[in-house]
Copies of this chain bind each other. A is one copy, B any other.
Amino acid sequence: MRSALFSPVELSFTAPGGPVPADRTPLTATFTHENGRHVEVPGFWDGDDRYLVRFAPELEGRWDWTTDSDQHDALDGQRGDLRIAPAVAAEHGPVRVAGTFHFAHADGTPFRPIGGTVYNWLHQEDRLFDETVEATVEAGFTKLRFMVFPQAGGYVEHFPDLLPFERTPDGRWDVSKPVIPFFRRLDDAVRLLHERNIQADVLIFNAYDNGRFGLDTLTEDEDAAYLRYLVARLSAYPNVWWSLCNEYDILDRPDERWTRAGELLAATDPHDHLRSIHNMLRLYDHNQPWVTHASIQLGQATEDFGRASLFRDAYRKPVVLDEIKYEGDVPLRWGQLDAPQLVHQFWIATVSGCYASHGESFVLPSGSLHMVEGGRLRGESPERLAFLRRLLDEIDRPGLDPIDNWWDPGFVAGVPGRVYVQYLGRSAPGEWTFRLPQGHWGERLEVGQRFEVDLIDTWNLTLSTVPRVFELSEVRRNEAFALDSAPVPLPAGEALALRIRRVTE
């Protein structure tokens, strides 16, 4: 059996079908690489008499596999092998943490999340479902946040018939009986995003059931059975990210229950995908070892400089501000930003060394919002966010870090000695005088080093290079200056950023 690096391989087995055990998987396949490394991959029931194991190898060459099952003899002791070829073009493998605060694919390719939010995407009719993907691709977004369990409540105008589990005779959910068409649809959704180069930020649980489905009333054991099934089913797709819950703190549960669920997620995922949990008002302890990156909502965190970066200091992990309020026109304060303000907040997140997610909340003819049901995008921010992402993609390091987070009135981010980005805010001054912070890490600034400066108009999407070179003439303990260079005149009042690159020839 031949396959390619990072691509899912599916092994299929036949045995009498039956309820999914809550506390374990029906079979486990152990894959052993020729170099001795081995990976234990949980299998899952896929309806009728069909059992599957999905594995995405991260080493080329020969892998032998064998199965174990205490449920069915037919699932136990099966054997085989795989020959894994180099990765196909455009397949970079799963995204992982890189450089403490950033992300990169398994093959080292940097990944910059600028993602969309369409909570109920999975639960829409096909036309809207497909339109959402096209809009996401067109916007240049690299990630999509969506929920496995459907949403109810304000602005939710469509409710699906296809639900994740069968019900017991007394009307409770029976998590031992997953509805296979539901989960095959979820497979297809994740695979479609993968084909379109979009990370699937899978919201495993959510706080928006509002008594309609009762999927937020499962017991902790039932949650665990669902989580094991979901992980076994989706983990081999390279583009999966796990978000344990959206606005977890709306649900009345002790933090310890979330910690146990998160630790189960970390323990059962053979492909070690990114893991987070997202809050409404009360931040989770993102220093917990199971959390790979902080996923944070806090309305004012990106409204001004010097805030979001403090979360990097507190957690020493990537910080993704997964709700910084939305471009839209609802009367609620989370959904009425204008596009210039949302773009502004993305730039602040960027020079804070953090990442943010987009959402759109114009009230649609359906009565719903894009962030709920998807479809085409109407706002003015996506084009500007794509421009921002292309600028980030020109940097050959995992990401930008604040150069001197202890104190820097310019809030300059970058890679010391190589490239710096300074964002001047929504209303630039009439001129800018060359100045760089000298941080406590990376390459040191020295007198005589030369830089060129690009002026970036973050709203009008222009980039122009100042036609002169700036040479450092004075380097103090914490700052460096090019005192022989006249100030750079700026188009005052525009939302400008500066990119300052070392000239090394």
Contacts and interface: CB of A to CB of B under 8 A. Distances in A.
Interface stretch (A17-25, A152-160, A309-317): A309-317
B306 A407 contact: no
Given A313-B283, A314-B314, A299 B440 contact: no
Interface in A149-179: none
A281 interface: yes
Contacts of A332: 477
A315 B313 contact: no
B300 A407 contact: yes
Interface string A269-300: 00000000000011101111000000001111
A440 B314 CA distance: 24
Interface centre among A283, A405, A406, A477 (most CB of B within 10 A): A406
Contact of A310 (B298, B405, B407, B478): B298
Contacts of A440: 281
A260 interface: no
A100 to B, nearest CB: 11
Nearest to A279: B313
Contacts of A288: 287
Q: Copy number in this complex?
A: 2
A316 B301 CA distance: 17
A281 B313 CA distance: 9
Nearest to A411: B300
A437 to B, nearest CB: 11
A156 B290 CA distance: 45
A222 to B, nearest CB: 29
A333 interface: yes
A184 interface: no
A50 interface: no
Contact of A299 (B311, B316, B333, B407): B407
A25 to B, nearest CB: 32
A157 to B, nearest CB: 22
Contacts of A316: 283, 285
A76 interface: no
A408 interface: yes
Interface string A294-337: 00011111011111001101111000000000000000110000
A297 B407 CA distance: 11
A439 to B, nearest CB: 9
A300 B306 contact: yes
A376 B332 CA distance: 54
Among A300, A301, A311, A406, max chain B CB count under 10 A is at A300
A305 B298 CA distance: 14
B333 A298 contact: no
A278 to B, nearest CB: 14
Contacts of A298: 310, 313, 405-406
Contacts of A407: 299-300, 303, 333
Contact of A306 (B286, B307, B314, B406): B307
Contacts of A305: 304
Nearest to A285: B287
Contacts of A304: 304-306
A406 B306 CA distance: 16
A274 B303 CA distance: 34
Contacts of A315: 314
Nearest to A331: B477
Contact of A300 (B286, B301, B406): B406
Interface in A476-505: 477-478
A343 B305 CA distance: 22
Contacts of A286: 314
Interface in A207-262: none
Nearest to A296: B313
A243 B440 CA distance: 25
A333 B300 contact: no
A314 B407 CA distance: 20
Interface of A: 281-283, 285-288, 297-301, 303-307, 310-311, 313-316, 332-333, 405-408, 440, 477-478
21 contacts: A283-B314, A283-B316, A287-B287, A297-B406, A298-B310, A299-B406, A299-B407, A300-B406, A300-B407, A300-B408, A303-B306, A303-B407, A304-B306, A307-B310, A310-B310, A310-B314, A311-B314, A314-B315, A332-B477, A333-B477, A333-B478
Given A281-B406, A307-B310, 10 more contacts: A281-B440, A285-B287, A298-B313, A299-B407, A300-B306, A300-B406, A301-B310, A303-B306, A304-B306, A307-B307
Q: Which 4 A-B pairs have the closest CB atoms?
A: A299-B407, A314-B314, A287-B287, A299-B406
